[in-house]
A and B are shown apart, each in its own frame.
Chain A
């Protein structure tokens, strides 16, 4: 399984140049059955990353471009009266896919946003009194432009909590950008993409991630980190127990990607900025907390 995962990472890196760390994070998020929020400027490869991930994992993929006039039914689906049969027939919306890319999620109205986020949490949708399960595995990647852009509805904290991780892609480095500029068109390359993993294998990997060993000393450290976030004057409020569970799940998936059967403190340290970044608010209420800033804050906690 380890080999398969490595292949997935390699193949994806082939398309998204110089972003192996972010690819690993996205994959870990998927393995931990979480949803991913990518926050960055347009054009840095958010959509391509989602495309490639879906393709390489052999998952059904739908994309929804969020706009301010998007309605919940546009995502979830509608029942339409069919005259021939005299019955209503359900036309599933784009959410009925294994990987859903919610592009620019902060452009939609809060009502539409919450329809998506509820579906993410419940992994099922209820339309006109009928509950329909969503396919499995189910993975939402939402992208968001930095919220200070005009005409956006930033996601409230309670909704941000639905995402396991928030990552940024950032500009490629010099070499990667040169390779991108000199290479072929990425969209053409996508057609040649072949899956490296079956959905069954993915579910198996998700199962394996939950089996990764967590030792008592590691839980001590995790609790110390949570405690620190609650006592530190730098944050308005500390991390919730759900955030603690999220961090642990993500660290397990990360350890699995690293080929380890146990979680190390370093795993928590690596993932903390991405898991906690969108859940913590700086007390001085300036710019949102960056990954390096967060890492620096939590470096005050000694490993017990």
Chain B
């Protein structure tokens, strides 16, 4: 056997139509990548494609070695200059994109074009590092279709006419044929837990929208403009009343007068010391990644899955920041009594800086001096908000040095964070232990799938006061503002208990579309992105395949793909055989024997031509095969073939023995 072989001359590039198809597909692949790059890099990549396009139209020659080298070095330098690295998600994909476009500078042979296509497939997948939405998935399919179409155009190198429709159909058919295998691989490919598996850490967007672990005035009102989904909830039973839907997040203890922060000593888990009332609420939350450790649950959770722990101030925390969508089942009680107040909590919950917001502090002190009990002090504060002309607005004035005083006595216009922080300030001044909770309030029930979607615009802040005998009690000072004092355009849904004015058909349609899209997105998150080890186990258990180890799973995967392919092959073979008549089978048999003897028949070679060629090229075989071929030609193409003669020929062919090729 010859294992060294002189390399064949490279196959030439196919026609211009195929090359333009390749450029088109490449443009589709590269364009979304350039959006994530710094502008100069994106422009560079686009310019390379455009240059090649012009070159194809005008017949420009490819540049020389020096230009290619210069362009490549410039590309590398630009990537390093932009990212200070060649590795990692951003720099890596930018480098890959640029190199792919630079390959166009030396597109000489079919192999180069193929290389571009295969790198293109890789780049399409790299797009998933940036976005895992269903839209990204759809675009991936679209780009793969375009690349496969270009592949089809490239594999007809001699075609004088570009048959784009045909190649597109073929590509679609091929993708459809690959679908069952893709589904099998997706379901069965072993999923590993832990951070080793999955996307690299810098694949997660920095500066994701979401709550931060501190409250600064003006922060949540930024969030309100974001329609991004925070999490979705599937309730087992009926959805609790809207005014009970407080999704508890971080708890803030420490303030400097302008900002509120959590206390770092609150970590560590506590036992539940709760008196619960009313029925429990069971539900499952699918939380979008937000890069922080806390997870959201309905106020107040009593049962939660193992990897999460509850801190002393009743936050649920994960061990690591939530970097991919997670799911958890929770049991909560919307009515509860939390009776315990350790000393340190009392100390923290009444602590105020002395130098700021003196007017507010003085007001709190006055309530104490008037001899009101804590319950009455809370009522007094809420009455203040309700009866005085306080307005709820999404565009509050910018806070100055004493933000609470300015809000309470001057502007009287604020957002939930203003009300919560002003209320907490007043309560602490009035010696009522108070803390601020931030999270989300409400949510939108999607009629398509019955899930509650909580968006960033539902972000909210409220307060909790400690009352002797009743424990920590949730007080939402924003909720006492009467609807007429809610500024137009602010989130009125929060105030009017789900009563909506009659909608026009256009907005109804839009809402319906949004619900459909949201349901699709949820399903995608649940079944595609969120398909993890746990979910795989559950699915396999449902299929009766539980107890499979990782190795078994791999074997099972390989086995089932092989079985699938073998079934298709067997079916095709069977269909083929069933269609073939007896003479057809005789010819196949003879073809097989000839091929094994080293004299394969060309598919377009008739019996007479074959006999002539055998006589010339394989005189060994000709005496035995020649008469059979002549008889076959007579029976197959001549008039009146008798079944006996066909059978005789079949026997003769079956017993034919040809010497094997060496």
Contact = CB atoms under 8 A, between A and B. Distances in A.
A215 interface: yes
B160 A262 contact: no
A174 to B, nearest CB: 23
Report whether over half of chain B's contact residues are helix, strand or loop; otherwise say mixed.
loop
Given A234-B160, A282-B160, A215 B638 contact: yes
A10 to B, nearest CB: 22
A259 interface: no
Contact of B639 (A262, A282, A298): A262
A286 to B, nearest CB: 9
A291 B156 CA distance: 22
A176 interface: no
Interface in A250-276: 261-266, 269
Interface in A202-258: 213, 215, 217-218, 233-234
Nearest to B162: A233
Given A233-B160, A284-B160, A264 B639 contact: no
B636 interface: yes
Contacts of A266: 606, 608-609
A7 to B, nearest CB: 24
B633 interface: yes
A269 B604 contact: yes
A282 B159 CA distance: 11
A301 interface: yes
Given A302-B603, A303-B605, A303-B606, A265 B637 contact: yes
B604 A301 contact: yes
A299 B156 CA distance: 16
Contact of A263 (B163, B605, B634, B637): B637
Contacts of B603: 302-303
B606 A262 contact: no
Given A215-B637, A282-B160, A264 B604 contact: no
A282 B161 CA distance: 10
Interface in A290-304: 298-303
Nearest to B639: A213
Given A233-B156, A233-B161, A283-B160, A262 B638 contact: yes
Given A233-B163, A264-B606, A303-B606, A217 B636 contact: yes
A303 B604 contact: yes
Nearest to B15: A284
Interface string B601-618: 011111111000000000
Nearest to A266: B606
Chain A interface extent, by class: 20 to 34
Contacts of B608: 264, 266
B228 to A, nearest CB: 49
Contacts of B161: 233, 283
Contacts of B156: 233
Contacts of A215: 636-639
A233 B602 contact: no
A300 B163 CA distance: 18
B160 A218 contact: no
B160 A261 contact: no
A101 B607 CA distance: 38
A299 B160 contact: no
Interface in B121-170: 156, 158-163
Nearest to B583: A217
Contacts of B634: 262
Interface residues of B, number: 22
Interface in B624-647: 633-634, 636-639
B334 to A, nearest CB: 70
Contacts of B160: 233-234, 282-284
A302 B633 contact: no
B470 to A, nearest CB: 84
> Could you tell me the dominant secondary structure of chain A's interface residues?
loop
B649 to A, nearest CB: 15
Nearest to A212: B639
B604 A299 contact: yes
Nearest to A215: B637
Contacts of B609: 266, 269
B605 A264 contact: no
Nearest to B612: A266
Of B156, B583, B609, which is in contact with the most chain A CB atoms at under 10 Å from its CB? B609
B638 A298 contact: no
A302 B602 CA distance: 8
Contacts of B606: 264-266, 269, 303
A134 to B, nearest CB: 34
Contacts of A261: 638-639
Contact of A302 (B583, B604, B637): B604
Interface string B573-593: 000000000010000000000
A213 B607 CA distance: 17
A145 to B, nearest CB: 27
A303 to B, nearest CB: 6
A269 B639 CA distance: 20
A264 B607 contact: yes
Contacts of A298: 604
Nearest to A218: B637
A287 to B, nearest CB: 13
A144 B266 CA distance: 103
Nearest to B580: A304
A218 B163 CA distance: 30
Nearest to B638: A262
B134 to A, nearest CB: 38
A218 B608 CA distance: 14
Contacts of B158: 234
Interface in A180-211: none
A264 B639 CA distance: 12
A266 B607 CA distance: 8
Q: Which of A213, A264, A283, A302 has the most CB of B within 10 A?
A: A264
A261 B633 CA distance: 12
Nearest to B640: A213
Nearest to B633: A264
A299 B602 contact: yes
B589 to A, nearest CB: 16
Nearest to A236: B161
* Highest count of chain B CB atoms <10 Å: which of A215, A218, A261, A298: A215
Most buried by A among B163, B583, B637, B638: B637
Contacts of A213: 637-639
A266 B602 CA distance: 13
A211 B207 CA distance: 86
Contacts of B159: 233-234
A300 B606 CA distance: 13
A194 to B, nearest CB: 34
A269 B602 CA distance: 14
A283 B161 CA distance: 7
A262 B639 CA distance: 7
Contacts of A265: 606-607, 637
A217 B163 contact: no
A162 to B, nearest CB: 27
A298 B604 CA distance: 8
Contacts of A263: 637
A213 B636 CA distance: 11
A217 B637 contact: yes
A269 B609 CA distance: 10
Contacts of B636: 215, 217
26 contacts: A213-B638, A213-B639, A215-B636, A217-B583, A217-B637, A218-B637, A233-B156, A233-B159, A233-B161, A261-B638, A262-B634, A262-B637, A262-B639, A263-B637, A264-B607, A264-B608, A264-B637, A265-B606, A265-B607, A266-B609, A269-B609, A282-B160, A284-B160, A298-B604, A302-B603, A303-B606
Given A262-B638, A269-B604, 20 more contacts: A213-B637, A215-B637, A215-B639, A233-B156, A233-B162, A234-B158, A262-B634, A262-B637, A262-B639, A264-B607, A264-B633, A265-B637, A266-B606, A266-B608, A266-B609, A284-B160, A299-B602, A301-B604, A303-B605, A303-B606
- CB-based closest 4 A-B pairs: A302-B603, A265-B606, A283-B160, A213-B639
